[in-house]
Amino acid sequence: MHKIIDGKAHSRGIRQEIAQGVQQFKQQYGKEIGLAVVLVGDDGASQVYVRNKIKGCEEVGIKSFAYYLPADASQAQVEELVSELAVNDAVHGILVQLPLPEGLDAQRILSLIPVSKDVDGFCESNIGSLCLNRPCLVACTPNGVMKMLEREGIEIKGKNAVVVGRSNIVGKPMAMLLLNADATVTVCHSKTQNLKEICSKADILVAAIGRAKFITADMVKEGAVVIDVGMNRDENGKLCGDVDYENVREKCSYITPVPGGVGPMTITMLLYNTLEAAKRSV
């Protein structure tokens, strides 16, 4: 019998803990915690993400600073704004919403965010610290997955974990986190041979490739823990993940649904990272 991992419930619980931490910080240091969000252009999905991040800040007591730049903003304009936020003591975390409009050098802009304010966990120093298993700000989505596994009491040590996808935002940090938790980790991608065979040996299978219902039942080991990071639309335009949920779930011990699984945890971990960044700043 499979158990559905309820990301919304875990997210609510963690947000309550964050709200308490924010309150304690205010009482102890007499100042607010601030998160700055920079949105360039008018991408619809990005606007929704930014609104949800601001709403999340309100919920836990973090002060949000939202900066909206037009799609034709120059590289110099964006860099100037991020550089100003980098030295602003009221801002403990900086998030530049990706993707940026064509023509802007995202890597150069992100490199201006100090490692101490990199609440997305994307900068080279934080990634390096993660690889060395040192304290750092960790990319929100994979960190959210780890929190869910931990709160469900799922054993990671000694397990075979397979991560399908090697992006810098999810796949690679996910693999590092599992490795740091003493799993034996295999990373698969579009060039992997015998993908079905490798996946079918996984005790913990994380799908993060952005292809609707790609992971089918014959790729899943009986009793596996299946984590679906995907967010896609199926042939009927309905929201779905990278896992063929209806057919896979009967083989699992645990599975995350889409929506309502990993998704709610991502913004929650952004708030978590902002609180962590504030604590480290004093």
List, by residue number, the catalytic residues. Answer: 53, 97, 120
- Measure the CA angle with vertex 96, ends 241 and 99; round to 5°: 50
CA distance 213 to 248: 10
CA distance 201 to 230: 21
Q: Which two tokens stand for residue 211?
A: 């292809």
Q: Which two tokens stand for residue 232?
A: 């896609």
Q: Which two tokens stand for residue 40?
A: 């360039």
CA distance 56 to 52: 6
Q: Answer yes or no: are the C-beta atoms of 162 and 202 closer than 8 Å.
A: yes
CA distance 138 to 127: 8
CA distance 27 to 61: 12
Q: Answer yes or no: are the C-beta atoms of 232 and 210 closer than 8 Å.
A: yes
The amino acid occupying position 229 is: V
Q: How far is CA 17 from CA 39, 49, 92, 111, 268, in A?
A: 28, 22, 19, 31, 11
Pinpoint the alpha helices (H) of 73-155: 75-86, 106-110, 124-131, 140-151
Q: Which two tokens stand for residue 28?
A: 């102890």
CA distance 63 to 183: 38
CA distance 245 to 187: 21
